[in-house]
């Protein structure tokens, strides 16, 4: 039976989890936001406050609407607090072991008919579903970054996902005012299968000295009409997430063309994860971003 989603639980209050919370609450849904790190949870709620203030200053919503939206988002300090949710979306770090651990401890707290979804950028939905007690009520709901701005959401069915789960997820995305596409359960689905090898190639171009950070980004902005350069975009996505997606493509498709660039590995090892760490291919600690190479 299709289920109307009214209350959404979100696990992971990072850049994606906080954005998903904001769009769900804006669509009138109640949101329970969880993170294992209380500071990240606070930062996630502060990011929603920041996002809503920007909309108020642009005149998109007024103060009263902003307060009502914010009032629909409650912190959830444990998975037990997610019990009343109709749908729980996992948006934690892009690491298969982390996600599997979450699913194996989460399900006992949920109603048997609750839908469980993952916002993974690349990991097999079928494998993640196997870590739950409800593979037929499990689906990939892949939002794009920044969630409040981007129109697309990819829906990915695992081998066991029931039609009713897919239909409920599709109706949920429509309620958020977004457009969904269906992708089969292959490594990195559609958007990241195409986008991440392009970003990885831009990092190789930098690594081999073909061009500087600025030249590569300017070349792709002005020469290919991309709104953002690929290295700027990599920083925006998070270099740990980029590396993880490339590893999933490399291992999942067993093709050397997906080999993560060693320079990407080095940046991640240094903790230079992009905007969220204030340093990546650009240094964001000053008033304007400065290329790091």
Ligand X SMILES: NC(=O)c1ccc[n+]([C@@H]2O[C@H](COP(=O)([O-])OP(=O)(O)OC[C@H]3O[C@@H](n4cnc5c(N)ncnc54)[C@H](O)[C@@H]3O)[C@@H](O)[C@H]2O)c1
Nearest to ligand X of 153, 220 (CB atom): 153
d(CA 165, CA 203): 38
Nearest to ligand X of 3, 279 (CB atom): 279
List active site positions: 121, 142, 154, 192
Alpha helices in the chain (DSSP H): 15-26, 38-58, 63-71, 96-106, 125-129, 163-175, 191-207, 213-223, 230-237, 239-253, 262-269
Nearest to ligand X of 31, 237 (CB atom): 237
Tokens of 131: 């870590």
Nearest to ligand X of 6, 40 (CB atom): 40
Whether the CB-CB separation of 280 and 239 falls below 8 Å is answered with yes
- Helices 262-269 and 191-207: crossing angle, nearest 10°? 90
Instruction: Provide the minimum distance between the beta carbon of 245 and ligand X in the complex, in angstroms, as a whole number.
Output: 7
Instruction: Provide the minimum distance between the beta carbon of 123 and ligand X in the complex, in angstroms, as a whole number.
Output: 8
- Which stretch of DSSP H or E encloses residue 180? strand 179-183
Question: Which residues of this chain interact with ligand X, rule CB under 6 A?
Answer: 11-17, 34-37, 40, 91-94, 98, 102, 119-121, 142-145, 237-238, 241, 276
Whether the CB-CB separation of 93 and 12 falls below 8 Å is answered with yes
For ligand X, which residue has the nearest CB?
14
Beta bridge partner(s), residue 155: 141, 182
Instruction: Provide the minimum distance between the beta carbon of 20 and ligand X in the complex, in angstroms, as a whole number.
Output: 9
Nearest to ligand X of 123, 216 (CB atom): 123
Instruction: Provide the minimum distance between the beta carbon of 178 and ligand X in the complex, in angstroms, as a whole number.
Output: 13
Handedness of CA 138, 139, 140, 143 (dihedral sign): negative
d(CA 243, CA 99): 17
The closest alpha carbon to 244, from 263, 266, 268, belongs to: 268
């Amino acid at each position: 039976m299709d289920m109307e989603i009214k209350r959404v639980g979100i696990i992971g209050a990072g850049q994606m989890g906080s954005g998903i919370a904001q769009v769900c609450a804006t669509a009138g849904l109640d949101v329970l936001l969880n993170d294992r790190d209380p500071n990240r949870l606070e930062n996630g709620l502060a990011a929603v406050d920041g996002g809503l203030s920007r909309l108020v200053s642009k005149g998109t919503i007024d103060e009263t609407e902003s307060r009502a939206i914010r009032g629909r988002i409650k912190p959830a300090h444990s998975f037990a607090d997610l019990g009343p949710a109709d749908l729980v979306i996992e948006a934690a770090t892009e690491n298969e072991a982390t996600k599997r651990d979450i699913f194996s401890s989460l399900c006992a707290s949920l109603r048997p008919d609750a839908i469980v979804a993952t916002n993974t950028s690349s990991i097999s939905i079928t494998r993640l579903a196997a870590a739950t007690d409800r593979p037929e009520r499990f689906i990939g709901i892949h939002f794009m970054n920044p969630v409040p701005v981007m129109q697309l959401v990819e829906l990915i069915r695992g081998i066991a996902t029931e039609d009713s789960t897919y239909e409920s997820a599709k109706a949920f995305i429509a309620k958020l005012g977004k457009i969904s596409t269906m992708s089969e359960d292959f490594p990195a689905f559609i958007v990241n299968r195409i986008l991440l090898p392009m970003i990885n190639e831009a990092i190789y171009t930098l690594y081999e000295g073909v061009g500087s950070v600025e030249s590569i980004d300017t070349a792709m902005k002005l020469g290919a009409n991309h709104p953002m350069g690929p290295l700027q975009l990599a920083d925006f996505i998070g270099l740990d997430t980029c590396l993880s997606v490339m590893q999933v493509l490399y291992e999942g498709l067993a093709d050397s063309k997906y080999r993560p660039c060693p320079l990407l590995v080095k940046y991640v090892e240094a903790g230079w994860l992009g905007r969220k760490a204030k340093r990546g291919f650009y240094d964001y600690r000053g008033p304007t971003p400065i290329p790091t190479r």
